[in-house]
Structure 1
Amino acid sequence: MGNIIKWLLIGLGGLLGLIVIALVAVLLLVDPNDYRDRIEAAVEQETGRSLTIEGDLSLSIFPWLALELGRTTLADAEGFHDAPFLEVDQVDVGVQLVPLLLRRELVTRTVVLDGLTVRLMVDEQGRGNWEDLLPEEADPEPAPMPDEPRAPRDLGETLANVGGLDIRNARLSWEDRQSALRLQVDPFNLDLDAVRIDDPMQLQMDWVLTGDDLPRVAGELSSAITVDGTLSHLALDGLRLEVTASGDDLPADGIAASLRGNPRVDLDAQALDWPDLVLETLGLRAELALQGRQTDTGPEAEGRLQVATFNLRELIARLELDAPDTADPDVLTRVGLSGDLRWADEVLHLTGLDWRLDDTTLNGEISMHDFAGPGARFDLAVDEIDLDRYLPEPAETANGPGEPGPAGAGEIELPLELLRGLDLAGDFRVGRLKVAGLRMSDIHARLHTDNGLIRLDPTSAALYDGRYEGRLQLDARPDIPQYAVRAQLEGIDFDPLITDLTGDESLLLGRGNLVLDVTTRGNNMDALTATLNGNGRFRVTDGAIRGINLAKTLRDAQDRLRGRSPEDTDEPRRTDFSELTGSFVINNGVVRNDDLSAQSPLLRVTGNGQANLPDETIDYRLRTSVVGTLKGQDGQPREELRGLTIPLRFRGDLYDPSISVDIAEALRGEQLERIEREVERGRERLREDVEDRLRGLFD
């Protein structure tokens, strides 16, 4: 037995000695550069492309069987680049010799690729210059029968001996001649630790991406990667992606963004769990708890999004953009967002939405099925908002504030192409709203869009102790947009409404109704005014008209007709009425009314005329009849005014008309009245004379 062991040891030692002698002989007698031509010929025969090894080949054997390759190039496919498809300055690959000889186990050291360059191209026919290097697709093997057990595969045992990967100073170019897109990544560096199953491996990457008419994007990625033995579960701990973009159209300091978290990937279930995704850029911080999976119908995901409150004005300043001109400089300083999201069947659902803008909160849900259109369905509610804070201050024209500006002012530039692509439908509600000075509450509107036809139908609101019901429509399909408004106001208090709308004291007091049905079209205020058409009617009760005291005006007119000086009194310039009614027709901006009627205990007023909105002129006549007794300054009744009709004429500037008494008509009216009175007196005298004569005959 001892002799057997002895001879075995002697044999093993001899074998090892022979191996050592053989390895030394290979190193001394074999020059790998002698095989350069054979290697190049074999590659060309296999791929059809020429391989050129310009640098030296270096071979080492113990303890690593290693090959170092100098500068090497692989030609591009015919019809693509003249430059090589692939270039590399240095390649270093090595495997441990002893595990390879004794256990047939492949243990590699870090693979080093230095100066790697890859040029990818898609030609005009859509053919890629890498396609001829891919193996031909073989016919798929039939799936095993259910009772046929599959051979277990544990790739982890194989990859556990991989020593890592080190790519230095790499360059990657991409050219798509179909879309004229050119991109380049230069440099690209990657450093991956030796593979360790169930233990973290450190990954470091950095790159710079450039392209025609694109910003320069520099990025860094780091993470500790853990995989299990079956490569079915992947954990990325401390994942951090830093990206900086710079270019002519970006701020001088560029735009930096950071993405981090600890995602988990289940490759077998095709699922992602990322509970702590954090994105930071330009002072914004967004947090997302995300879960995703691949299903038979496509990818699905769900999560919770929260954007911390930020200052939108500061964000605009960082982007070196002009902040919007707002009446209140303190708006757009507090913006935040939170909500639940879900992606399924190519539709993004946002539910539990809580959007904050300064003092306003929006809640509800949105489902977006088209981001290009865009297309969405929604149900949203706003608690309160003062839009006047977000609108520019009213411009002062050359004629002064509130006065008409030059022709062509008020240009309206609508994004017609965007409006034509909208596919929106939904409801929104507003608790309280202020816009253009008007105050409304309990607003509800339903929005529909159809290839540029945009409707708010129906719409309703409570305002000024009354109600509004109506429909608004914008037709953006033609080159010149068209508008339509149908509105019905009931029980409205006109005094505060007109005061809030104009900013001046209202000329009309009272409560009433208004029905309006108008259309118009145009790209500026002048065109909208000139093409305004439609009709309406109104009724106001228990009201008054400020700015004119018809009773005093009648007394003054009667005094002038009689050659007397008008009384000097401090009576208020106001005319009360119990009811004011009328209707109007609008034809190309000219508003015509022929049936104005106002009634009070003392007066009856009728009127007719027109207001030319494009020319901003008015020509209107009021006829005021006294049905009661007017008292003068001395308190004495003026019975002579009873039954008198005084015509008033409003003409000239629409916003500051001159008011005059139509003397000619008044005189004609008074003369007719005198003639009628004289005729009546003559009839009375004739009747009395006839009666006297008849009595004399019978007596």
Structure 2
Amino acid sequence: MKAFGKILGLIFLGLLLIIVAAGFALTHLFDPNDYKDEIQQLARDKANLELTLKGDIGWSLFPWLGLELHQATLASPATPEKPFADLDMIGLSVRVLPLLRREVQMSDIRVVGLNLDLQRDEKGKGNWEDIGRPPQSPEGGPENRSAAPTAAPRPTGAEEPARPIKLDIDSLTLSNARIDYSDAKSGRQFSAEGIELTTGAIREGASIPLKLSAFFGTNQPVMRAKTELTANLRFERALKRYQLEDLKLNGEASGEPLKGKTLAFNAQGQLLADLAANVAEWNSLKLSANELRALGDVKLRDLDKTPRLEGGLSIAKLDLRAFLTGLGVELPPMSDATALQKFELVTRLAGSPDSLALEGLNLKLDGSTYTGRIAVADFASRALRIQLKGDKLDLDRYLPPKSKASQDAQSARQAEVKGTVAAASQGTTPLPNAPTQLAWSETPMLPVDPLRKLDLEATLDLGQFSVDKLPMEDVSLKALGKGGLLTLEELRGDLFDGNFTVSAQLDVRPAVPLLKAQKRVNRVPVEKLLQARGQKPPVRGQLDLTADITTSGNSQKAWVDGLNGTASFVLNDGALLDANLEQQLCQGIATLNRKTLSSTRSSAETPFRELKGSLVFNNGVASNQDLRASIPGLSVKGDGAVDLRVLGLDYRLGVVIEGDKSDMPDPACQVNERYVGIEWPLRCRGPLELGAKACRLDKDGMGKVAARLAGDKLSEKLEEKLGDKVSPELKDALKGLFKQ
């Protein structure tokens, strides 16, 4: 037995030597370069591939089946003169014996100078799509169709699934590679150049270290990016499970969207694709982009259907203004240069290929906190959905500052008003002139083009809200926007212990935007409204207002110039400030009494119980024909107009007074029976800021009052003289004659 075993071993050794000798002879006596034409024809027949071998072919047979190609190109048979791929060299080798066990054991795979030029024509067909298809006959059908053998029927019995080929590759190296893609129909181009890829041993179920670097570029928009990726790859084909462990991706990007700026980015985490469960995950996500730092987890479900996005995201405290500026974003001018400097975000993510929602949002911006939901319901139409609750928002910080032209116009008007105010004292100066300087800015207020594209549904609840320096509380807003028509369904809240409700509609579809609004204000202190706008109030009191107005344009001036509509108002428990109408009226009574006032009134205001009326707006001028006021000791009625374009007033008032009812009345201001029921005329004209200071006795009206009083006095004398000497009819006729 021992001799038999020795003989058997010698036989196997001899066979091995024969195989090695045969392999040596084949590789040295057989030159594959002599068969380039046959190899190229075989590629043409079997793969419908135009293979051109310009360089030498090197090979080995045993124990490694090795192949090395130099200077090869690949093209579609339809365009053999336009290769879609070429390479400088590819080298690989496979152990022969493991192939018999369906195992692929390879040494290093090396690919040098691979260039792919992938193109789609104007019909959308790619220059690589015919590869692998049967070659076409001149008639347009597959060649030798009639000669093709009929496939033998497969047995109907159950078959064992083919055992997958086991991979065992020492390493893969791809160097100096390039990929170009272009689409003639869209004009888009994409490139990846300088591609360098190296891996460790590639074995299924094992951790495979890899490193990839490349330069990427696009033309729509023009962008360039340098990237480097390192990770450990693990795959299990039977389980359809693929992982990138300890992923690190970093790089820099620049181009047209960044407007000369550079974006440095870094991403880390654990990636998993479980195709059996149709799930992909990115766990322990760490992301940085310039100043931005974020943490999160992202999961995609239903990969075989419509993928659904789930996850969470947290962005650390960030100077959002600096970050956006670093991305080339041109922020609109804002009144507060420090706005957007404090930003934090925590949210859950939910989405699909067409939408993205930030659920359970907790946003901190410039000292304010907002919670709720923000979503883009459809990327194509940019449909925005917002439901937020916040503690406070000062909108004035984010609105544009006043333009220089607006500031100059305002300064000119203030100078005009200041001069008029200085001239107006306690009623002894002439009637002020009407203002002429415009009070409103011509700076565009609305971003018309973005508003025309806006698809918006928004609800907003705020504890504190400030706009145009008006401090509102418990504000609730609901707005819709679609196709250039924006509707403010409701804006309500509290203002200075009163409340307000507003609804409005903005139509930006025409060339000139159209605006209409309905307002209701209840018991809002009017003096605080004016003080909040930096104006000195001429009046105080609780304002009730109802208005229905329309206008057009895109600036304050245009809105005021085009203002039309109606309004009604009531001002309760108020007073005319910095003005004493009683003093002026006493002066008038003293004049008629031909006396001089012994003292002046020290009060700096004229109180009233009620001031009410209605307004009709016509191209920026508010007309009022039914002004009524109830003042202790006085009753007032009037008519006139307020020119909102220059904030000027022009009114005629009729005042019926009872005279000086104080404990120590001024004799010159006492009203005798002749003055009872007399309507004393006042004329008010000048800047709106003057209030009652703009009012003076109407000289023309005073002449009529004097004539009436003179007639009354003559009537009294007639009564005394005539007594019962004439008939009552004649006495009445004579009295009426003197009262004309």
What is the TM-score normalised by the length of structure 1?
0.89
Equivalent runs, 1:75-474 vs 2, <5 Å? 75-76=75-76, 78=78, 83-100=82-99, 105-135=103-133, 151-152=160-161, 155=164, 158-212=165-219, 213-228=221-236, 230-247=238-255, 250=258, 252=260, 254-294=262-302, 297-319=305-327, 325-343=333-351, 346-394=354-402, 397-401=407-411, 403=413, 409-412=441-444, 414-474=446-506
Distance of aligned partners of 1:304 and 1:588 in 2 relative to their CA distance in 1, 3 Å threshold: same
Once residues 690 and 490 of structure 1 are traced to their aligned partners in structure 2, the CA distance between those partners, rounded to angstroms, is 61
SS of residue paired to 1:298: coil
Equivalent runs, 1:275-674 vs 2, <5 Å? 275-294=283-302, 297-319=305-327, 325-343=333-351, 346-394=354-402, 397-401=407-411, 403=413, 409-412=441-444, 414-500=446-532, 502-559=533-590, 569=600, 571-614=602-645, 617-629=648-660, 635-636=666-667, 638-640=669-671, 642-643=675-676, 644-653=678-687, 659-674=695-710
Match of 2:147 in 1: none
Provide Cα deviations, 1:139-198, integer angstroms capped at 9, x if missing partner.
xx9xx99x976634553xx24323332211111111101001122211222223222232
Task: Kindly state the Cα deviation for residue 353 of structure 1 after the two structures are TM-superposed.
Answer: 1.1
Distance of aligned partners of 1:117 and 1:29 in 2 relative to their CA distance in 1, 3 Å threshold: same
The code of the aligned residue for 2:68 comes to E
Distance of aligned partners of 1:68 and 1:241 in 2 relative to their CA distance in 1, 3 Å threshold: same
SS of residue paired to 2:173: strand
The code of the aligned residue for 2:160 comes to A
Assess if the C-alpha contact under 8 Å between 2:265 and 2:289 holds in 1: yes
SS of residue paired to 2:28: helix
Match of 2:433 in 1: none
What is the TM-score normalised by the length of structure 2?
0.84
The code of the aligned residue for 1:163 comes to D
Match of 2:58 in 1: 58
Assess if the C-alpha contact under 8 Å between 2:50 and 2:77 holds in 1: no
The code of the aligned residue for 2:459 comes to D
* Bigger mean CA offset, 411-420 vs 62-71: 411-420
Assess if the C-alpha contact under 8 Å between 1:424 and 1:449 holds in 2: yes
Match of 2:722 in 1: 686
Structure scoring higher RCO (CA < 8 A, sep ≥ 6) equals 2
Aligned residues: 682
SS of residue paired to 1:43: helix
The code of the aligned residue for 1:593 comes to N
Once residues 249 and 347 of structure 1 are traced to their aligned partners in structure 2, the CA distance between those partners, rounded to angstroms, is 22
Task: Kindly state the Cα deviation for residue 627 of structure 1 after the two structures are TM-superposed.
Answer: 2.5
Assess if the C-alpha contact under 8 Å between 1:77 and 1:85 holds in 2: no
SS of residue paired to 2:105: coil
SS of residue paired to 2:169: coil
Once residues 513 and 282 of structure 1 are traced to their aligned partners in structure 2, the CA distance between those partners, rounded to angstroms, is 53
Once residues 150 and 424 of structure 1 are traced to their aligned partners in structure 2, the CA distance between those partners, rounded to angstroms, is 58
Assess if the C-alpha contact under 8 Å between 1:555 and 1:632 holds in 2: no
* Bigger mean CA offset, 427-436 vs 443-452: 443-452
Task: Kindly state the Cα deviation for residue 381 of structure 1 after the two structures are TM-superposed.
Answer: 0.8
Task: Kindly state the Cα deviation for residue 597 of structure 1 after the two structures are TM-superposed.
Answer: 0.7
Provide Cα deviations, 1:547-569, integer angstroms capped at 9, x if missing partner.
32111112233455667677773
Once residues 582 and 150 of structure 1 are traced to their aligned partners in structure 2, the CA distance between those partners, rounded to angstroms, is 96
Assess if the C-alpha contact under 8 Å between 1:448 and 1:455 holds in 2: yes
Assess if the C-alpha contact under 8 Å between 1:480 and 1:522 holds in 2: yes
Assess if the C-alpha contact under 8 Å between 2:592 and 2:706 holds in 1: no
Assess if the C-alpha contact under 8 Å between 2:103 and 2:166 holds in 1: no
Match of 1:696 in 2: none
Assess if the C-alpha contact under 8 Å between 1:300 and 1:344 holds in 2: yes
SS of residue paired to 2:206: coil
Distance of aligned partners of 1:100 and 1:320 in 2 relative to their CA distance in 1, 3 Å threshold: closer
Task: Kindly state the Cα deviation for residue 599 of structure 1 after the two structures are TM-superposed.
Answer: 1.2
Distance of aligned partners of 1:344 and 1:281 in 2 relative to their CA distance in 1, 3 Å threshold: closer
Once residues 217 and 166 of structure 1 are traced to their aligned partners in structure 2, the CA distance between those partners, rounded to angstroms, is 22
Assess if the C-alpha contact under 8 Å between 2:580 and 2:601 holds in 1: no
Q: Which runs of 4+ in 1 moved over 6 A?
A: 404-408, 562-568, 631-634
Assess if the C-alpha contact under 8 Å between 2:597 and 2:669 holds in 1: no
Task: Kindly state the Cα deviation for residue 325 of structure 1 after the two structures are TM-superposed.
Answer: 4.3
SS of residue paired to 1:672: helix
Once residues 493 and 150 of structure 1 are traced to their aligned partners in structure 2, the CA distance between those partners, rounded to angstroms, is 90
Query: Which residues of structure 2 form unaligned runs of 5+?
Result: 136-141, 143-150, 415-436, 728-740
* Bigger mean CA offset, 678-687 vs 575-584: 678-687
The code of the aligned residue for 2:706 comes to E
Once residues 680 and 370 of structure 2 are traced to their aligned partners in structure 1, the CA distance between those partners, rounded to angstroms, is 57
Task: Kindly state the Cα deviation for residue 583 of structure 1 after the two structures are TM-superposed.
Answer: 0.6
Provide Cα deviations, 1:373-414, integer angstroms capped at 9, x if missing partner.
322444321111222333355456225548388799433253
CA RMSD of aligned residues (A): 3.2
The code of the aligned residue for 1:57 comes to I
Distance of aligned partners of 1:544 and 1:118 in 2 relative to their CA distance in 1, 3 Å threshold: same
Assess if the C-alpha contact under 8 Å between 1:94 and 1:109 holds in 2: yes
Once residues 656 and 134 of structure 1 are traced to their aligned partners in structure 2, the CA distance between those partners, rounded to angstroms, is 90
In the alignment, does 2:685 pair up with 1:675?
A: no
Provide Cα deviations, 1:486-520, integer angstroms capped at 9, x if missing partner.
111112222222211x2133112111311111111
Query: Which residues of structure 1 form unaligned runs of 5+?
Result: 692-699
Provide Cα deviations, 1:316-355, integer angstroms capped at 9, x if missing partner.
4433556654444443221011122222595534322111
* Bigger mean CA offset, 437-446 vs 85-94: 437-446
Assess if the C-alpha contact under 8 Å between 1:630 and 1:637 holds in 2: no
Question: What is the aligned-residue identity percentage?
Answer: 31
